[in-house]
Amino acid sequence: MFRTTRRLSLGLLLATATALPAMAEGEVNIYSSRHYDTDERLYSDFTDATGITVNRIEGKADELIARMEAEGVNSPADLLITVDASRTWRADQKGLFQPVESGILDARIPEYLRHPDGHWFGFSQRARIFFYDKERVQNPPQTYADLADPRFEGQICMRSSTNVYSQTLLASIIAHDGQDGAIEWADGLKNNLARAPQGGDTDQIRGVVSGECDIAVSNTYYFSRAIRVPVDGVSEAIDNIGWIFPNQSTTGAHMNISSAGVAAHAPNRENAVKFLEYLAGDQAQQYFSAGNDEYPGVAGVPLSPSVAALGYFRADTLNLAKIAENTPEAQKIYNAVGFE
Ligand SMILES: [Fe+2]
């Protein structure tokens, strides 16, 4: 799926960006794997403020990454917006970004949410936390390490190890506890599963409601969404569900990001940097994060009510580039211990 604010066909977008470079001064071409309605407002506000036309191609992150690789130096992409640090890291490993130096971005985006050399910047964040049945679970796990404790045998639901959220979580455990600690954790957690990994994050929370699981591992926004709008199998029982932000007295809760970086061969580099700086502004931060019930990347920006409902917590501030580089190792560990 792709959309552009000027309703260009894909062919026209490429023609505009490559064959007519003179027209390209007033444009920015965004490849995005985000597709939330509130993002529309982001793009139109940017155009209103700067006069720069936003052309968009939307698709799955891996498809957009493959496409940029295939297009090479002729790629019309100025920016790549993706979700999850491990996907962003993969794009960076393929050389798809270029460094950006911006005083605005450095001042606004916390150090742990951006690449050390400015290859990408996290603009919204989500925590990977525990949701549990308040009646059945009297002493919920308080740390990621607790998930591997035999006292939770047969109680935990988590999605598959092939999912990027699972990989980035284990990547963070490798970063904090080393390889041996990570192997032990993955093995212990596998033994505590209530069922073979299946479905998305919402399905893990649904499992708590249905009674199949006592404890679910999920990103915060899936629960916040069920507060904001009716989500089948969750919202009707939302008062029975408690949540724990893990590792509050140690490393803090594991965070992940929606991020954007300037493409290595961006034909409209200056406009791309302007767009990133715009995304770091208060108003854009609110749209960007609220669109998916996420936490803003920039400190002090008001949270949407469904997000604020979860309360304050301490976030893991280890740099996400540092965490994401462990994702290939994380997949190996899951495979080695037989975590599906
Ligand atoms: Fe998600």
What is the amino acid identity at position 61?
A
Residues 268 and 192 in one domain: no
Of 1-10, 280-289, 325-334, give the lowest mean pLDDT range. 1-10
Residues 215 and 229 in one domain: yes
The answer to whether residue 3 is domain-embedded is no
The Å distance, Cα 226 to ligand 1 centre, comes to 13
The Å distance, Cα 194 to ligand 1 centre, comes to 22
The Å distance, Cα 16 to ligand 1 centre, comes to 33
The Å distance, Cα 152 to ligand 1 centre, comes to 25
The Å distance, Cα 272 to ligand 1 centre, comes to 25
The Å distance, Cα 52 to ligand 1 centre, comes to 30
The answer to whether residue 4 is domain-embedded is no
Residues 217 and 329 in one domain: yes
The answer to whether residue 192 is domain-embedded is yes
Question: What six digits make up the tokens of 251?
Answer: 């490393």
Residues 201 and 55 in one domain: no
The Å distance, Cα 285 to ligand 1 centre, comes to 19
Q: What size, in residues, is the chain?
A: 340
Bigger pLDDT: 155 vs 2 = 155
The Å distance, Cα 288 to ligand 1 centre, comes to 15
Distance CA 171, CA 291 (A): 27
Residues 74 and 119 in one domain: yes
For residue 240, pLDDT beyond 60: yes
> How many domains does the structure of the chain reveal?
2
pLDDT of amino acid 6:
40
The Å distance, Cα 267 to ligand 1 centre, comes to 31
The Å distance, Cα 183 to ligand 1 centre, comes to 25
The Å distance, Cα 25 to ligand 1 centre, comes to 35
Distance from the first to the final alpha carbon of the chain: 30
Residue 28 binned pLDDT confidence (cut-offs 50, 70, 90)? very high
pLDDT of amino acid 24:
44
Task: Return the CATH number at 103.
Answer: 3.40.190.10
pLDDT of amino acid 34:
87
Residues 262 and 292 in one domain: yes
For residue 275, pLDDT beyond 70: yes
Range of the domain at 148: 126-253+321-337
Residues 93 and 26 in one domain: yes
CA distances from 26 to 2, 16, 54, 261, 274 (A): 20, 11, 9, 19, 12
Residues 139 and 212 in one domain: yes
